[in-house]
């Protein structure tokens, strides 16, 4: 099991710039029920997102969901071992880009766990390699190429 360098941010530290283009608060749990707990954010996740931003031509990346605490993850019906709960995963949108292209660029900058939805992609930095699509019938794991080519309605 790899170790991940995690930094922790308290709620009042949301304005802290954690990299050139991201603030800590963008990764805070957006559950309305969140307790005043610190948020874990993996340094490597942010580094890769910066690479992705550059690769996309310096287009802003919107973080739909970063850290999720356990109750929030349950409410969202997230996986029991969701990487959002350890600060290693994010659901993101690159403005004006199709999710196929987002997934391709994510791969290019080194992400090896990528989920593609109709309007966003999930990326995380944990060690195994997996690609999947979020379909109406549920999450379906497939090869990278199948994931890229799968049309999501």
Residue 76's nearest CA partner among 32, 42, 113, 41 is 32
Name which of 18 and 90 has its Cβ closer to Zn ion.
90
* Smallest distance from Zn ion to CB 4, Å: 16
Name which of 25 and 126 has its Cβ closer to Zn ion.
126
User: CA-to-CA distance for 9 and 85, rounded, in angstroms?
Assistant: 14
Please enumerate in sequence order all residues whose Cβ is within 8 A of that of 98, keeping only pairs 6 or more positions apart, or say none.
Answer: none
Name which of 26 and 91 has its Cβ closer to Zn ion.
91
Looking at 5-13, 27-35, 90-98, 133-141, which segment touches Zn ion (CB under 5 A)? 90-98
Name which of 57 and 141 has its Cβ closer to Zn ion.
141
Question: Pick from 24, 68, 91, 134: which binds Zn ion (CB under 5 A)?
Answer: 91
Residue that has been written with the tokens 């996309």 in this structure:
56
Residue 122 binds Zn ion, judged by CB under 5 A = yes
CB-based closest residue to Zn ion = 122
In 10 A of CB 135, how many CB atoms? 14
Looking at 28-36, 67-75, 100-108, 118-126, which segment touches Zn ion (CB under 5 A)? 118-126
Residue 120 binds Zn ion, judged by CB under 5 A = no
């Amino acid at each position: 099991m790899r170790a991940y360098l995690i930094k922790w941010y308290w709620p009042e530290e949301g304005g802290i710039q954690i990299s050139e283009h991201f603030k800590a608060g963008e990764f805070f749990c957006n559950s309305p029920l969140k307790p005043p707990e610190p948020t874990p954010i993996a340094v490597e996740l942010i580094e890769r997102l910066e690479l992705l931003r550059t690769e996309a031509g310096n287009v802003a990346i919107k973080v739909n969901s970063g850290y999720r605490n356990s109750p929030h993850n349950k409410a969202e019906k997230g996986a029991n071992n969701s990487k959002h709960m350890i600060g290693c995963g994010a659901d993101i949108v690159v403005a004006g880009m199709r999710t196929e292209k987002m997934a391709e660029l994510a791969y290019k900058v080194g992400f090896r766990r990528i989920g593609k939805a109709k309007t966003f992609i999930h990326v995380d930095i944990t060690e195994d390699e997996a690609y999947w699509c979020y379909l109406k019938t549920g999450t379906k794991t497939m090869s990278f190429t199948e994931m890229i080519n799968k049309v999501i309605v």
